[in-house]
Structure 1
Amino acid sequence: MGIDQLLRCVVRKSAEGAEGELQVVPDPGRKLPGRGAWITPTVEAWEIAVKRRAFGRALRVSANVDADPVREYIVTLPVTVTSKDEEVTST
């Protein structure tokens, strides 16, 4: 999978919720400022990243981060099938 098929994510302060709460948000246009983390845009990859706390490490954030906005974005992507019969979302 090439870099053009990966989804860039960045950390932002939450517009809602507790003061100072951090969220990982998708950056499909790759234009938002800040350190980016790259993920294969599948729910399975998102679940693994959350379980391993990979977003916090990749984005160098010591606090817990809410990665739900990334999942919400991923589920809206159309799904295509590759020649190996693997499901991959197109970006």
Structure 2
Amino acid sequence: MNWVSLIGYGAALCSTVSFVPQAWRVLRTRDVSALSTPTYAITCCGFALWLVYGIVKAEWPLILTNGICLVLASFILAMKLMPRQQRESVAQTLAPPAE
């Protein structure tokens, strides 16, 4: 593996992991008030386009990274767009409060 590949894998790892803290915070706090709907909508579109590009080019690093990022960003966007009661229900199911 050369240094260019290492840079690519490092970038892919950072991009993928960057959405995990936000998704976890949304689940834990159920608060989406500070999140920008247009930003997450554009981000989801970008990841979807990168995913399609990766599929067309048969580039597994692009497919995996952008597929995972699309799922995480779409989850955050969906939570932002859901009515509060439904958001509470989803969060309760996925991350019930510690007792």
TM-score, reference length from structure 2: 0.29
Q: Which has the higher contact order (CA 8 A, sep 6+)?
A: 2
Write 1 or 2 for the structure with the bigger share of helix: 2
- Structure with bigger gyration radius: 2
TM-score, reference length from structure 1: 0.31
Write 1 or 2 for the structure with the bigger share of strand: 1
